[in-house]
Structure 1
């Protein structure tokens, strides 16, 4: 990341008020040894492999520890940082070479692929024996988790909201109310929003806090290294005419990128949670749905419903609803 996003180093800010996030079973995320707290029940997971490269020993450890945590009813939890790190100078290229296995071979079996050597087993056995010798009480195994679900959960719709993470209260909140009132049933909201802006202001910071505290969403993702549309008014005016010149070309392609990413997010959530959505809705975070179509529900799986507003000389590109199959073409065009 440091090699491919050099301009982002030192610019990304994390929310100090973010509540801790616990990963559910069958969800992996790497973690390292820095600013990490291990509770007594997981002391067995403090072991660090010694036959791997130094750069990846804690990452490999994080994967098998997470898997064993599921068996004792444990969770990996990410919270806000409690330290400030002053990094020493070192070679990013050397780091990348030492971490090659992680980037290219993580899907393979750790032991059979030779990511660590057989003597690691002897050392680990010695570690467990040491824990026994000092009176450590190992946790009990709970009932095993199952990755299968007996039946598919049918839901009415998923809503992909893309754009800038600024006007959620002024634009998205009333739009969500309109959708909910016209399309009855279970609706899940996926916010995939850019928190980037050329000029940072106090109003911008306030708006970001609003969206981080917004609770009516199933998944919220904020990313900070792409400027979506720098022409959006600072006062969150929800109807504006952007300059359709060359400067608008790149933001437009970035909007398309956001649509595809949000669609993939919904499909991943469907698979993971064993859910099937009847419809997918695309909405913009900075646009209010004023002219509601007679019915939001498409007549068939090949129908795309769009409102007659915000056309800019063509079809509305800020709101659409259709079946998952037809919206796949819309979102991934």
Structure 2
């Protein structure tokens, strides 16, 4: 049975997700409609990707009876209202990260999913790469012993994308890229809530964070250090250090295609795209799309690899880090 996708928003990330879907068997995944706030943009997107239907608003997409699940690729502040609108129309939703602007909004989205009995998953694509699945297996089997320290870095040189530094559009290093570092620590420590969170950072004149360092202390003296920056390029790797060895994700830790386990490297290449991509290794979004399909086939309402509790923990940690650094969005004041 084919999984029929609707694409909500015709921006860069939606382009890459649609390209990724085309790397999967067409008898399993099909994109049947796209919506944008501008009909012309939706039509251009549909023509580029061979999508049958284009809508000039998100409400018409929600009413389309031939859609099984919608990918929400809007900017961060719209994740809550758009996802809620879709789920009230009984649509399953895969929403880009961050799931919402704060923990309060995450709880609201999750409550809406449960009320309407639909599937909901935060699109933290890193969780679903074969390399990440292998990391979870290695940790379960204690190949590197007990993990005592986690470090994850993600830093990029400044870009000419205004959204990334504008508070009203959900900008800031943590919300945009630091989330990958925090989720890695949460994944390694299997969703355990840290006992202590300490954050420091540098804010721009726009009120969002340019850089942030977050230290997490877990039970039994285990630690994690997460560093993100929108001003310099960091090594962009991640490492979990245990009592018997080390697991290292090489450059591009947010889309892991190479693992080094106790000195031995294994490659996990992603398929080549049929159209140019906006972001590196974006065909790797195929793995989260396939996770959605498998969950729907099993009748699940959330993914065991990125559960609603995982999304809530991620939001809770980032809320506290932002509070300490002084990054406050309008959504935090409601």
Alignment TM-score, normalising by the size of structure 2 = 0.24
Q: Which has the higher helix share?
A: 2
Larger Rg: 1
Higher strand residue share = 2
